[in-house]
Amino acid sequence: MAGVLGLAACGGSGGGGGQAAQSSAATGGGKQQVEVFSWWTGPGEADGLQAMKKIFEERNPNYTFFDAAVAGGSGDKAKALLQSKLQADTPPDTFQGHAGAELQGYIKAGDLEDLTFLYDELKLKDVFPAQLVDQISVQGKIYSVPVNIHRSNVLWFNPKVLKEAGVAAAPTTIEEFVADLEKVKAKGKIPLSVGSEWTVTHLLENVLLGTLGTDAYNALFKPGADWNSPQVAKALENFKTILSYAGDPQDDWQPAAKQVADGQAAFTIMGDWAYGYFHNPPEGGLGKKSKEDFDWAPAPGTGGTYLWLSDSFTLPKGAKNRDGAIAWLKVAASKEGQDAFNPKKGSIPARKDADQSLYTDYLADALKDWSSDKLAGSIQHGVSVSQPWLAAINEAVGLFIAGKDVAALQKALAVAAQANAQ
């Protein structure tokens, strides 16, 4: 790895906050439930979790997996509920948290147990990249188990729609991208599909990286960074231009991605969880044909950089079924668990010793790029900014969607950085 690493439906077994409260109670058969909290309920997301659940239940006949997932891409709703559970000292047995600034917040708040004992027992320091372990550590103690590496900066496109519009190849620069969006518009198709508000922040991080380049992007998260610069202004102008080609916002990332797969829209910029959704067989996914129904390239201007994020699982202090949670973490940490989860999730394993033959098609490209690209940390998915900082960015983006005022957006982003960079 190059560079510096840097409230709705419930899934599977059903239930919500109320049922979650009894999650670690013994069930009828004398089995104990393990409450696993995530936001992987939707098509393309739940498949990976189910694959890991299967292994967990096979390995642990005395436990049942209790799916406490809260719907909503990127976990905005889940994280709000989680916060209230942590504050009320009723944590789930284990929860999904992003490596980086997001996890550091939970660690500093004293919400998590140190997992060094598990790292020692399973020799995990040997199998995870050192820079990744750094993102989930404070003062030498390690607080979560990373299950994957996702890529944020993927431009997904429908090759047939591009062809109809006379676009010969995926755009590699922002200028080419804007020209291509215009060509698609002229053909009457949706140039760019977007989902709920967080997907627009996701687009923003990609346009910032694509405009500023990797080093200047990474510098934005250091104390004293200059968000008022003309370069950031240029990036935000690009963002405004690109956003002017967006179709009607869809409810979440899946319906936005589906517009591309179905040929209604040409492009969407989304993380590689979209691959699981496009590619997985129907029920879980769309069962679409790679390179025919959908194709991919680095988001414009970001080739050679992996805008990364990583999902990890934790052991909250006061977990009711602590042993069950540790059993879950062991599966999440294992080669078998990661190799079952990631090909379905559309991510590459966090472990360095995974079975590479399982990662084909898009995922083979991802593995290759991960080993050679420069790294930049995602904003929307917890790497570069803390949760309060992200909340301020999301609010600024929300106002921007309504008012399209670049100067106001830049000012709000600068204020958010000043208040939150550490």
Q: Based on CB atoms, which residue is closest to ligand GAL, 100 or 171?
A: 100
| Contact window for ligand GAL (CB under 6 A) among 71-79, 137-145, 160-168, 216-224 | 71-79
Contact call for residue 342 and ligand GAL (CB under 6 A)? no
Q: Based on CB atoms, which residue is closest to ligand GAL, 75 or 324?
A: 75
Tracing tokens 């991919």 back to the chain, one arrives at 296
Among 76, 180, 311, 339, binds ligand GAL (CB under 6 A): 311
Contact call for residue 348 and ligand GAL (CB under 6 A)? no
List, as one string, the DSSP characters of 118-166.
HHHHHTGGGTS-HHHHHHTEETTEE-EEE-EEEE--EEEE-HHHHHHTT
The residue type at 414? A
Q: Cα-flanking dihedrals φ and ψ of residue 332, to 5°?
A: -60, -30
Least gap, CB of 151 to ligand GAL (angstroms): 11
Q: What is the CA radius of gyration of the chain?
A: 21
Q: Based on CB atoms, which residue is closest to ligand GAL, 45 or 293?
A: 45
Restricted to residues 39-68, the positions that interact with ligand GAL (CB under 6 A) are: 39-40, 45
Among 6, 11, 43, 73, binds ligand GAL (CB under 6 A): 73
Among 66, 156, 273, 400, binds ligand GAL (CB under 6 A): 273
Q: Based on CB atoms, which residue is closest to ligand GAL, 101 or 309?
A: 309
3-state secondary structure of 248: coil
Among 301, 333, 381, 396, binds ligand GAL (CB under 6 A): 381
Contact call for residue 71 and ligand GAL (CB under 6 A)? no
Among 309, 390, 393, 412, binds ligand GAL (CB under 6 A): 309
* Beta strand ranges found along 28-72 (DSSP E): 32-37, 63-67
List the x/- string, 249-268, binding to ligand GAL by CB under 6 A. ----x---------------
Half-sphere exposure in the Cβ direction for 265 (13 Å, CA):
25
**Rounded to whole angstroms, how far apart are CA atoms 179 and 184?**
9
| Residue 342: partners with Cβ closer than 8 Å, 6 or more residues away | 48, 147, 148, 348, 349, 354, 358, 359, 363
Q: Based on CB atoms, which residue is closest to ligand GAL, 39 or 156?
A: 39
Give the residue at shortest CB distance from ligand GAL: 73
Contact call for residue 396 and ligand GAL (CB under 6 A)? no
Least gap, CB of 253 to ligand GAL (angstroms): 6
Least gap, CB of 329 to ligand GAL (angstroms): 17
Tracing tokens 């209604």 back to the chain, one arrives at 264
In this structure, what DSSP letter does residue 249 have?
P
Least gap, CB of 32 to ligand GAL (angstroms): 27
Contact call for residue 85 and ligand GAL (CB under 6 A)? no
Contact call for residue 349 and ligand GAL (CB under 6 A)? no
Restricted to residues 21-40, the positions that interact with ligand GAL (CB under 6 A) are: 39-40
Contact call for residue 75 and ligand GAL (CB under 6 A)? yes
Plot region of 121 (φ>0 → left; ψ -120 to 50 → alpha; else → beta): alpha
List, as one string, the DSSP characters of 181-224.
HHHHHHTTSEEE---SHHHHHHHHHHHHHHHH-HHHHHHTTSTT
| Residue 209: partners with Cβ closer than 8 Å, 6 or more residues away | 153, 217, 299, 301, 302, 305, 307, 376
- The token pair that represents 259 in the structure block: 């517009």
3-state secondary structure of 390: helix
Q: Based on CB atoms, which residue is closest to ligand GAL, 150 or 288?
A: 150
Least gap, CB of 131 to ligand GAL (angstroms): 18
Contact call for residue 99 and ligand GAL (CB under 6 A)? no
| 309-338 burial code (b ≥16 CB/10 A, e <16) | bbbbbbbbeebbbbebbbbbbbbbbbeebb
Among 74, 94, 268, 410, binds ligand GAL (CB under 6 A): 74
| Contact window for ligand GAL (CB under 6 A) among 72-80, 180-188, 319-327, 356-364 | 72-80
| Residue 28: partners with Cβ closer than 8 Å, 6 or more residues away | none
Least gap, CB of 345 to ligand GAL (angstroms): 7
Binding site for ligand GAL (CB under 6 A): 39-40, 45, 73-75, 98, 150, 253, 271, 273, 309, 311, 381
